[in-house]
Amino acid sequence: MRFFDKDLLLYQEASKEIYESVKALPIVDYHCHLNQKLIAEDARFTDIGELWLGGDHYKWRAMRACGVDEKYITGDADYYEKFLHYAAIMPSLAGNPLYYWTHMELVQIFDIHEPLNAETAPDIYKRANKVLEGLSVRGLLRRFGVSYIATTDDPIDSLSDHGVYDGITVCPTFRPDKLYTLDEGYLAALAKAAGVETDTLEGLKKAISLRLDYFQSKGCRISDHGFGAFPKHYATEEEAGALYARRATLSAEEKDAFFGWLLLFLTGEYARRGIIMQLHFAVVRNNNPAMFARVGVDSGFDLPADAPVLADVIGFLAKTADEDRPETVLYTLNDSNLSDLAAATGAFRHVRMGAAWWFNDTVEGIRRNLKAVGEYSVLGTSFGMLTDSRSFASYVRFDFFRRLLAEHLGALVERGEYDMSAAIHLAKRVCYGNIQEALGL
């Protein structure tokens, strides 16, 4: 078998046939952290070092784990030096998704079909940069077949760079995590963005509603929330007003109760607007205090938290009647009780499991996700893959997922346990059709 050839991760003849049916479908990336300004400007990259290492914390974590000095990760070394150090760790990454993604990017973007390592790095650097000379951000997106991108945006953001560029629709996602902090500076910024005061709970609700209206005017069809754990307490409207009035002095339990009220308030706002609600949980942020102080957030120091308490997940879902719930997608960073979460989706309408998230978007993590969702929920209703990435090269992850999905379904077909025509139909739905319909594209 040729290194990273056309049948990568496809071991059954049925899998290859299923993959052929989905490999060229358009990409709908409904959750990412790309910089929309770079799309609007159709920016270019100075070199492959910038493309790969300018903001990819997956790569930064691996480099740190291999002992690379921070100078060559987030420090002031030039991108050529950073690229050489990244290349040097490649042979150590057997089984790591970075090994797959890096070589898939070399093949699909640069037509380079050889292993990256310390010896091949200088030549690969030159050849890749030659390709990049004629490739802009939008050109790269078109090469991957990207048709829709949902960026991640704060309620106070201007959204001035969202729009349609060369047939690629770039829409905002409503990400209200900073509301949970009740930070006075942030609340003042929200008041300014919405044009209303946020001193009272009614003012806060009005500001959130106005910003949601604005987001929708810019094409927003989806929201996103990131938190460690579901609330255990839920304030009533009256209690929430009293808590908000003395927000600077709340205990941990009172903050949790206010968070519970806020999450339910937002749930209702999304349902009224037909906005999908994504919930990302079981994550603990910024675990290395010294490095957090040095390089800041989203730099590779977040980790899975304890597995979500199923009773708390159920408690949240049970607070909203089925007919009043927006389409809700659950993602856990700790998938140790994934089967329990998947089973819970069968007890509430308009709830489904999301893709294998973050540390779980490995070969085995995606396989676990597909198996658990298939066995305990319904695989055919999945929204499929997303990048959750800051890298414009990360769209190989869709091909990575499509191959693993095709192999999962193909194995069932080869064993006589599933129908081939149904497998092809399901693969098309999961890879494109379900999310296309859900977003109204």
Across residues 75-80, what is the average pLDDT?
98
DSSP secondary structure of 179-215: GGGT-HHHHHHHHHHHTS--SSHHHHHHHHHHHHHHH
**Strands laid side by side in the 146-150 sheet:** 27-29, 146-150, 168-171, 163-165
Q: Round the average pLDDT of the chain to a whole number and report it.
A: 97
CB 166 within 8 A of CB 179: no
Tens-place pLDDT, residues 3-61: 999 999 999 999 999 999 999 999 999 999 999 999 999 999 999 999 999 999 999 99
Tens-place pLDDT, residues 250-275: 999 999 999 999 999 999 999 999 99
C-alpha pair distances (Å), 253 with each of 54, 201, 231, 258, 330: 40, 19, 9, 9, 24
Round to whole Å and give the CA distance between 80 and 121.
10
Q: Encoding tokens for residue 411?
A: 């194995």
Across residues 297-311, what is the average pLDDT?
96
How, if at all, do strands 328-332 and 276-281 pair?
Answer: parallel
Q: Encoding tokens for residue 374?
A: 């298939």
pLDDT of residue 2: 83
C-alpha pair distances (Å), 198 with each of 159, 183, 217, 270, 303: 21, 12, 22, 20, 33
Tens-place pLDDT, residues 102-160: 999 999 999 999 999 999 999 999 999 999 999 999 999 999 999 999 999 999 999 99
Residue ranges and CATH numbers for the domains of the chain are 13-44+136-438 (3.20.20.140), 45-135 (1.10.2020.10)
Residue 419, Cβ neighbours under 10 Å: how many?
12
Task: Please list, in sequence order, all residues whose beta carbon lies within 8 angstroms of the beta carbon of residue 116, skipping any fewer than 6 positions away.
Answer: 87, 90, 102, 103, 106, 124
Q: What angle do CA 37, 41, 47 make, to 5 degrees?
A: 95
CB 215 within 8 A of CB 159: yes
Radius of gyration of the chain (CA): 22
Chain centroid offset of residue 213 CA: 24
Round to whole Å and give the CA distance between 211 and 179.
13
Residue 60, Cβ neighbours under 10 Å: how many?
23
Task: Please list, in sequence order, all residues whose beta carbon lies within 8 angstroms of the beta carbon of residue 4, skipping any fewer than 6 positions away.
Answer: 103, 104, 106, 107, 113
pLDDT of residue 1: 62
Q: 143-179 burial by CB neighbour count: b if 16+ within 10 A, else e?
A: ebebbbbbbbbbbbbebebbeebeebbbbbbbbbebb
Round to whole Å and give the CA distance between 192 and 213.
15
pLDDT over 90 (residue 369):
yes
Q: What is the DSSP letter of 111?
A: -
Residue 324, Cβ neighbours under 10 Å: how many?
12
- How sure is the predictor about 365, in pLDDT bands with cuts at 50, 70 and 90? very high
Across residues 208-222, what is the average pLDDT?
98
pLDDT over 80 (residue 358):
yes
Across residues 429-435, what is the average pLDDT?
98
Q: Encoding tokens for residue 320?
A: 């909203």
- Nearest residue to 5 (alpha-carbon basis) of 149, 108, 152, 141: 108
Round to whole Å and give the CA distance between 250 and 199.
16
Round to whole Å and give the CA distance between 57 and 42.
23
Across residues 374-396, what is the average pLDDT?
97
For residue 96, the SS3 value is: coil
Q: What is the DSSP letter of 174?
A: B
Percentage of residues in the chain having pLDDT higher than 70 = 100
